[in-house]
Amino acid sequence: MKRSTRMNTVLQVTSADEEKAAQLFKQINDRLKSEQNKLLQLQSYQMEYHQQVREGRAFSVQQLQQMSQFIGKLGEAIEQQQAQVVRVTEQMQQLRQSWISARGRTLSITQLQENYLAEEQRWENQQEQKEIDELVNNRSARAIHNKP
């Protein structure tokens, strides 16, 4: 079996690994977008409540305390969500690097297989040329021996 043919199996494995890495990267990228949207939503809520307090609407002391506590809880939720965005971003960076590595392996195997194919083609061409040369030499030798 030719080396280029044997490389098909290796190429299939590396391609499958690359595809899996790409899918994981896409999933984490989608998750990051979702986490960022949650963060933006929390920040938007916080701004709305801050705006209500600044506008100085007529609130009772109890309502202001409750609103202040709620804004504080929103602040905590925002901090937690920011930490979550950072964690997911780090995971995404790792999965991106895994995908890049897998892609590199696939490209390397593809290049190696192409090199093997080119080498095999050169060898076949040389063999073919040798056969042609032998046929020509044999005909020439027969023609010389058959001359009267």
Distance CA 106, CA 114 (A): 12
Nearest to 21 by CA among 107, 109, 92, 112: 92
Radius of gyration of the chain (CA): 35
Q: Could you give the angle at the alpha carbon of 38 between the alpha carbons of 34 and 39, nearest 5°?
A: 115
Q: 47-86 pLDDT, tens per residue?
A: 988 887 777 666 777 887 888 899 899 999 999 999 999 9
Tell which wins on pLDDT, 87 or 55. 87
Nearest to 88 by CA among 34, 43, 44: 34
Distance CA 98, CA 101 (A): 5
Q: 95-133 pLDDT, tens per residue?
A: 999 999 999 999 999 999 999 999 999 999 999 999 998
Specify the pTM.
0.73
